[in-house]
């Protein structure tokens, strides 16, 4: 290593250390929400506003803006949200087709479906999942990538996301498998497009279309569902979970390949 390279290496280390410290401070600041969610109950709309303000302040202290997270006041934000929503909805439709082919239960229209309940659910998911994305795939995730690299940041974030769902009352097995795979997907969406709204679109659409097509027993926000005449067996539940996980991981593999190609193209342009 040449002497002239030493300041660059030292600067890089300081940058990574600073980024890690800021990510930790951000996560600790909002840890009551994801570690003790039932004791830290604040409306999701209020939490979205708080998270946007705090993210803005963190970024401003670094001389950056919310555009780093894809949250600028431009057409990019609703565009990314819409494209993410379409992608998330398509994934759940593919999963629903897989469940329909794999399980014998008849699919019927739910006579108790209420469009008002479904639309309210969509608005609530956009706010509630917006809180989760701003915490787990927002500023802290972007700083963790700088500090420790993309995949280590993905693993740390996925584990925190699983802990959050376990604290919410989810079975630990579902949280460790289903939400970890989901976290990897949302994280890859953010990395590919540098956009929290895109990750939010995938997240909210996935939850909404799942409720629309896969809830059994159905709720007023369920349009069609595999209505079993009995409780699903353990084998059927595991098969459905396997279908969800495999489809999610395939989507992750496609996104990972797209990110690798994007980086190769960027590196080739930087050399010219």
The DSSP annotation for 132-196 comes to: HHHHHTTHHHHHHHHHH-HHHHHHHHHHHHHHHHHHTT--HHHIIIIIHHHHHHHHHHHHHHT-H
User: Residue ranges of the domains in the chain?
Assistant: 5-271
Task: Please check whether residue 193 is in contact with residue 186, taking contact to mean a CB–CB distance below 8 angstroms.
Answer: no
Q: In this structure, what are the phi and psi dihedrals at residue 150, rounded to the nearest 5 degrees? A: -60, -55
pLDDT of residue 40: 63
Task: Please check whether residue 105 is in contact with residue 216, taking contact to mean a CB–CB distance below 8 angstroms.
Answer: yes
pLDDT (tens digit per residue) in 24-35: 999 999 988 888
- Stronger pLDDT, 10 or 86, i.e. the higher one: 86
Q: Is the pLDDT of residue 2 over 50?
A: no
Q: Please state the rounded mean pLDDT for residues 211-236.
A: 87
Q: Please state the rounded mean pLDDT for residues 36-53.
A: 83
What 3-state class would DSSP assign to 235?
helix
pLDDT of residue 226: 84
Q: Is the pLDDT of residue 90 over 70?
A: yes
pLDDT of residue 97: 93
Q: Is the pLDDT of residue 107 over 50?
A: yes
Q: Is the pLDDT of residue 134 over 70?
A: yes
Q: In this structure, what are the phi and psi dihedrals at residue 109, rounded to the nearest 5 degrees? A: -75, 135
pLDDT of residue 1: 47
pLDDT of residue 271: 77
């Amino acid at each position: 290593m040449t002497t002239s390279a030493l300041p660059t290496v030292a600067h890089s280390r300081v940058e990574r250390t600073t980024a890690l410290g800021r990510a930790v401070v951000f996560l600790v600041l909002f840890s009551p929400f994801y570690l003790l969610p039932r004791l830290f109950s604040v409306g999701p709309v209020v939490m979205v506003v708080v998270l946007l303000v705090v993210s803005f302040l963190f970024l401003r202290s670094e001389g950056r803006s919310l555009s780093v997270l894809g949250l600028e006041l431009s057409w990019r934000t609703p565009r990314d949200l819409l494209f993410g929503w379409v992608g998330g909805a398509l994934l759940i439709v593919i999963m629903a087709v897989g469940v329909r082919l794999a399980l014998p239960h008849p699919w019927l229209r739910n006579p108790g479906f209420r469009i008002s309940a479904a639309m309210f659910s969509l608005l609530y998911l956009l706010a509630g999942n917006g809180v989760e994305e701003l915490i787990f795939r927002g500023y802290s995730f972007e700083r963790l990538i700088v500090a420790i690299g993309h995949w280590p940041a993905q693993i740390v974030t996925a584990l925190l996301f699983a802990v959050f769902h376990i604290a919410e009352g989810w079975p630990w097995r579902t949280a460790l498998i289903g939400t970890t795979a989901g976290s990897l997907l949302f994280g890859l969406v953010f990395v590919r497009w540098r956009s929290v709204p895109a990750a939010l679109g995938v997240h909210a659409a996935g939850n909404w279309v799942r409720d629309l097509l896969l809830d059994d027993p159905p709720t007023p926000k369920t349009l069609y569902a595999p209505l079993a005449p009995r409780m699903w067996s353990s084998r059927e539940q595991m098969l459905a979970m396997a279908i969800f996980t495999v489809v999610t991981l395939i989507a992750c593999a496609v996104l990972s390949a797209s990110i690798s190609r994007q980086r190769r193209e960027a590196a080739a342009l930087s050399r010219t």
